[in-house]
Structure 1
Amino acid sequence: MTRKPTGPLRTGFTTGACATAATAAACGALVTGEWVSPVEIDLPRGQRVAFDLDETAAGEGWARAVVIKDAGDDPDVTHGAAIVATLRPGRAGAGVTFHAGDGVGKVTRPGLPVAVGEPAINPVPREMMTRAVQEIATRRGIPADFEIEIAVDGGRALAEKTWNPRLGILGGLSILGTTGIVRPFSCAAWIASIHRGVDVARAAGLTHVAGATGATSERVAQAHFDLPVHAMLDMGDFAGGLLKYLVRHPVDRLTIAGGFGKLTKLAQGAMDLHSARSQVDFEQLADWAEALGADRAEIAGCNTANQALGIVGLPLAQAVAGRARDVAQAVVAKAGVEVDILMINRAGDLVALAPAGGGRTA
């Protein structure tokens, strides 16, 4: 169920921060035989924060701690998940090694910040956990040789709600976070996922990727161009986030797929297509429709973009697709990326296609 905040939005903690807290607690118990709760850790930007332990267990040569993730008021699929760290002594001189427990995925495709075959535990959380156990080892005067296994209860099912399967992270979730803090509704996680999708596609040698505003437009674009799943980027409303990243990390060809309303906003220069952050300019849309023979006043008085489309029909769809293509192409032109636009209606039918190079074929 979606949580609906009624007061100021709360920040939360990343899976990486929760895993570090559980790791620090389990390591402390492994070397001292004593549990400390709450356990304190340092975040990458210097904050020192405390976490309560939900469960603890220990046996001969191992200790395990559980921290429940609190994502604050961010709509995060991992909110409330149990992040589990199990610590064991490692081989002498091996340092800190990481292992994927149940619910944490493994990397199977290149292009991610973690090597193929490794647990999907990102570099910053690895650094945080390594630093935490090194500090404990230093205080006890022992080598920091530990095996760290991270698990997430229910992580396999939760991962199906994320980008992990198409990024080639199989078997569970990723342990993420660069600051340790989750900013509610910051959109940063979504944009980061878009970036990782581009990285994976490039590493796989793909030359054509598609960014879609939703599941229906993605399905149509994938079928129309016969693209593999790892070419599909869940762009959502973040056209700018995708286009700007492609300037620095280009591919030969980008298809942007979506419905008439969102693509009208792109055609009018908006880079964030969310209804709360950009609106259709009906006066400008009326100008375009008038050039096609429509009654300008009628279009300017429309309540929705789709109402205007219903009045003018496919010529307006094609005109908007061409203008959206031109706007997007201007952003990535210097990187050599060719852009085309695929537009669908609410029934999921293809209504316009503006190919790269300026042609306008319905």
Structure 2
Amino acid sequence: MAETGFILPVWFAAAARAAVLGLLGEPWRDSQPLELDPGAEPTLVPVEAVAPLAEGWVLATARSDPGSGVLDLTRGQPLWALVRWGEGPGDWLDIAAGEGVGVVAATGQPCLSSYARDLLMRTLRPLVPPGWRLELRLVIPEGRRLAERTSNAAFGVVEGLALIGTQASVQRSAAPEQLEQALDILRRKASAARFDGALVLVVGENGLDLAPRLGVPADRLVKAGNWLGPLLVAAAAAGVQRLLLFGYQGKLIKLAGGIFHTHHHLADGRSEVLTALAALEGLSGPPLAALHRAPTVEEALAGLQAEDPDLAARLRARIAAAIEERSLAYLSRHGHRSTAVGAVLFDRGRRLSAQGPRGAGLLRALAGPTVLPAAEGLGGGA
């Protein structure tokens, strides 16, 4: 039976598979079997139509369904996959961003997470004859408009929606079910036979995708979503001795103000926290007022960086240190005093922007020699 509740890359993979079968002259089926994880049993994913077009293209369509009870702006959106045989030399699969699919501004390449790209390749490779090349163009007709309601641009993704995600099913970052899932994952990892006492809490998909690129093993990662407070306490209770908080600076700064549920519907205060820490670092008068007026933390820090790079660096370091101290105080209030908490922040360019006193050493210990310096961007799927 066909299933629902998948991220965008899964629907695109199903549509792309149907389109390639059409290109091969095979009869189309309204559900496509996908190996959602390497070696997993095939899962049937619905598609809606397949049709040949001009210039050798074949179009297949699917419709996004994130599952019941999920607030997702892509629900019901049509997704198009167009394929044709390529000419000349090149890789066997050429993935292009069509209308409404986001690209990384720095490179112009489609913004796909590693999971999305691997899923497409795993799905399509068995269908492409040896020595042949396949051109795949992904389209979200309403993607450009929908992207205006997301934070894609804050992470350097333009022209449409990013195709991200690290697993097939939709994760609910603000729902209570997501907290239960995260707690279960955390406890299982902390109780594993080879567990050595260290874990990494990542706030969202960007951190979940970025941390492995820095060399952090996937088995160290737990996606916290917005439930950082309960997961901090659960980690300490489960015996985690070294805990790294890894996330976007515009989100984690809330912890520096003692806000441990970070969903914007519950609390914000980012501008106030930023301004208070900047004042403690010596900023005052009109520059401090300008910092407070900035529409986002990202823009505030970028403006300060342009005016006074040394002060901006000190402020970012103070933010990371404050996150660590407030997290330790939060744990202490809940009766836990033996867990070391570190913080590492990244900016919208996916560059490490700040590391707290504990976070710097913890990241080096977890990631090893592959950790990139803070000035280097990582690009790729946001």
Scaled to the shorter chain, the TM-score interval is 0.5 to 0.7
Is contact 1:163–1:193 with CA below 8 Å preserved after alignment? no
Task: Give the conservation status (yes or no) of the 8 Å contact 2:101–2:144.
Answer: yes
Letter in 1 for 2:45: F
d(CA) in 2 for partners of 1:11, 1:154: 21
Aligned-partner SS, 1:269: helix
SS of residue in 1 equivalent to 2:80: strand
Match of 1:127?
118
Q: What corresponds to 1:350 in structure 2?
A: none
Equivalent in the alignment of 2:71: 75
- The secondary structure found in structure 2 opposite 1:29 is helix
Choose the corresponding residue for 2:104, options 102, 107, 126: 107
Whether contact under 8 Å (1:209, 1:253) holds in the other structure is: no
In the alignment, which of 47, 57, 68 is matched to residue 51 of structure 2? Answer: 57
Amino acid at match of 1:27: V
Q: Distance in 1 between matches of 2:209 and 2:294?
A: 18
1:217, 1:53 → 2: CA distance?
44
Deviations, residues 162-198 of structure 1 (Å, cap 9, x unaligned): 2211001001101122221224443789522356799
1:54 deviation in Å? 2.1
TM-superposition CA deviations, 1:42-75 (whole Å, max 9, x none): 1125141112222332124111111111111332
Question: 1:333: how far off?
Answer: 2.5
Q: What's 1:118 paired with?
A: 109
Answer yes or no: is 1:231 the counterpart of 2:298: yes
Structure 1 segments unaligned to the other structure (5+ residues): 1-9, 110-115, 200-207, 234-250, 257-264, 272-279, 285-325, 338-362
Distance apart, 1:107 and its partner CA? 0.1
Partner of 2:330: 269
Q: How has the CA–CA distance of structure 1 residues 136 and 209 changed in structure 2, closer, same or farther, with 3 Å as cutoff?
A: closer
CA deviations on 1:341-362 (whole Å, 9 max, x unpaired) are xxxxxxxxxxxxxxxxxxxxxx
Asked if 1:181 corresponds to 2:169, the answer is yes
How has the CA–CA distance of structure 1 residues 266 and 43 changed in structure 2, closer, same or farther, with 3 Å as cutoff?
Answer: same
Residue 215 of structure 2 corresponds to residue 151 of structure 1: no
Q: Does 1:98 align with 2:104?
A: no
Q: Return the alpha-carbon distance in structure 1 between the equivalents of residues 249 and 7 of structure 2.
A: 29
8 Å Cα contact 2:30/2:48 also seen in 1? no
Structure 1 residues 64 and 174: CA distance shift in structure 2, 3 A = same
Q: Distance in 2 between matches of 1:335 and 1:102?
A: 40
| Separation of aligned partners in 2, 1:136 and 1:48 | 15
Q: Distance in 1 between matches of 2:318 and 2:131?
A: 50
Q: Pick closer, same or farther for the CA change 1:55–1:232 going to 2, 3 Å.
A: farther
Residue 117 of structure 1 aligns to which amino acid in structure 2? G
Distance 1:151 1:106, change over 3 A: same
**Secondary structure in structure 2 of the residue aligned to 1:120:** coil
| Greater CA drift, 157-166 or 187-196 | 187-196
1:207-356 equivalences in 2 (<5 Å): 209-210=249-250, 211-212=253-254, 213=262, 214=264, 217-220=269-272, 221=274, 223-224=290-291, 231=298, 253=317, 255=319, 268-269=329-330, 332-336=356-360
The alignment covers a number of residue pairs equal to 241
Partner secondary structure for residue 12 of structure 1? coil
CA-to-partner distance for each residue in 1:120-167, whole Å, 9 max, x for gaps?
A: 1222211221222221124xxx53411111111311122223221100
- The CA distance in 2 between the partners of 1:268 and 1:334, in whole Å, is 15
Does the residue aligned with 2:149 lie in a helix, a strand or coil?
coil
Report SS of the residue matched to 1:36: coil
TM-score (norm. length: structure 2): 0.52
Instruction: Give the corresponding residue for 1:43.
Output: 36
Report the secondary structure of 2:70's partner residue: coil
Q: Gaps spanning 5+ residues in structure 2: where? A: 183-201, 213-247, 255-261, 276-289, 301-314, 321-325, 345-354, 362-382
Percent of paired sites with the same residue:
22
SS of equivalent to 2:319: strand
